[in-house]
A = this chain, B = another copy of it.
């Protein structure tokens, strides 16, 4: 098959990134499509918005109410045990740096663990002890992983990933990328998978 792999760009603060991350495993297996997990940060991209240079979305009250209800409905439909984070959005910088250092399989497992800490167990994922606990549960060498995560070259690698995302035209998470084709949002995951198998345009 000529199926291309799909880049999955995700932000740990984003509930829609979490829902997509949970759904990807099943869809990848069913469709025979391969996903490359690409952690990044949406804050530096939001800060570039022409009319609102803020690193968070600054949603209106109506938007905040809608988003939470939408996520609750989606999770109920997907059988995901959402506990809406008491701090939202949480800072995913440390988690993204750790994810950036890990190889493919460990990155996927760690990233799912971070999402579940944030959205199921209401864990403060910006806290180093919380991240260390997740690595420990995975049987990782925690001190080594954290040291690598915070080394200057890894910080630069994550910053380069954000620049790469901007270069690709990414302005929100999650994003599915196949060559130059972008699909934005958990609700475009099926289309991305279909496109990877057979582009229709």
Contacts and interface: CB of A to CB of B under 8 A. Distances in A.
Interface stretch (A56-64, A122-130, A137-145, A148-156): A56-64
Chain A contact residues: over half helix, strand or loop, or mixed?
Answer: mixed
Interface string A162-183: 0000100111000000000111
A60 B48 contact: yes
A184 B70 contact: yes
A50 interface: yes
Nearest to A201: B76
A3 interface: no
A62 B48 CA distance: 11
A169 B51 contact: no
| 7 smallest beta-carbon distances between A and B, as pairs | A51-B52, A76-B201, A62-B169, A187-B187, A62-B171, A51-B58, A73-B201
B169 A66 contact: yes
Interface residues of A, number: 33
Contacts of A182: 66, 69
B50 A169 contact: no
B70 A60 contact: no
A184 B66 contact: yes
Contacts of A185: 187
A49 interface: yes
B169 A73 contact: no
Contacts of A188: 70, 187
A51 B47 CA distance: 13
Interface string A38-80: 0000000000111110100010101101100110110011000
